[in-house]
A = this chain, B = another copy of it.
Amino acid sequence: MRAVAGIPIVRPGDDLGRLVADALSDHGLASGDVVVVASKLLSRAEGAFVDLGKVEPSERAIALAKAVDKDPRLVQVILDDSAHVSRSAPKVLITRHRLGHVSANAGIDTSNARPADVAPGEWVLRLPSDPDATARAIRATLEATFSVSVGVVITDSLGRPFRNGSLGHTLGLAGLPALSDERGATDVFGYTLQHTFAAVADMVAAAADLVMGQGGEARGAAVVRGLCFEPDPTASSEQLRRPADRDLYA
C-alpha cells in the first residue's frame, strides 16, 4: 500500500481519472490493484464550491443554527445536502446525507475549500454528486491506460458513534465488491462462521487513510496491492449503507 504522489491541485473541470493516471505513470498499476481517491478531489473537479456570502438561510436553518451554535448559512448548505437530521447538539449537527451515509455537517468542508486561483473568501466545499459514477469513470480511464483490471474506492474521513477519532469510509466504488460474503465459510474447526458480511471496501478505505493522511491533496490517492477479489462491474457503495428504516441508530 502506498500513497500516490504528484497529483496537482484539482481544478473545476479537470479529468480526475486522467490526473490519477498521469500520477501513476511511473509505477503503473497491476491487475487486482485498488486505487483509493479522496472525495475532496472529486468535489474540486466538479466545482462543488458554495460561497456562503450568497446563501440565504431559511427559517428552519436559522432556528437549527441557533440550537447548534453554527453559522445559519452553513446550516442551510448542510440541510440542502441532507435527507434528514440524525442528531443535533451544541456544535454538533449529524445528518443522513442525500448520498445515504450519516456524518457530521453533511461532509461540508470548510477548512480547505477555496477554489484554485480565487481569493480566500467564504467558500465551502460540498461532497461530490455521484461518487459511484465517478469511481466507474476513473476505473475506465485507469483500465484503458494501463491495460489492467482494477478497483476504485472513493473515501471520506468520517467520525462514528461510540468511538473517538475519524477514519476513512467508502463513499463510492467501482470494480471492487463492497462486501465480502462470508456465509458458509468454515473456520478451523469446521463450524460455520457467525459474521456474514465483511465490509471489505471500508477496510480498504480505512487502510488507505494510514498513508493518505488527513492534510492536503498532495496525497489524495493511494494504491492498495495484494487483495484477492473478483472484479465486479456492477459493484456499488449502496450495499454498505443501511437504510434508515432498518437502522436502530438512525
Contacts and interface: CB of A to CB of B under 8 A. Distances in A.
A204 interface: yes
List the number of copies, as a whole number: 2
Contacts of A161: 102, 160-162, 242, 247-249
B248 A87 contact: yes
A187 interface: yes
Contacts of A92: 248
A75 to B, nearest CB: 16
Interface string A201-214: 01110110111001
Interface residues of A, number: 66
A193 B193 CA distance: 41
Given A165-B200, A199-B164, A240-B165, A182 B87 contact: no
Contact of A167 (B189, B202, B218, B224): B202
B195 A214 contact: yes
Contact of A163 (B163, B198, B207, B242): B242
20 contacts: A92-B248, A102-B161, A109-B194, A111-B193, A161-B161, A163-B199, A163-B242, A165-B240, A166-B197, A167-B202, A185-B215, A187-B216, A188-B216, A188-B218, A193-B215, A200-B210, A202-B206, A206-B206, A207-B210, A210-B227
Interface of A: 1, 9, 87, 89, 92, 94, 101-102, 109-112, 114, 157, 160-169, 178-180, 182, 185-189, 191-195, 197-200, 202-204, 206-207, 209-211, 214-218, 224, 226-227, 239-242, 247-250
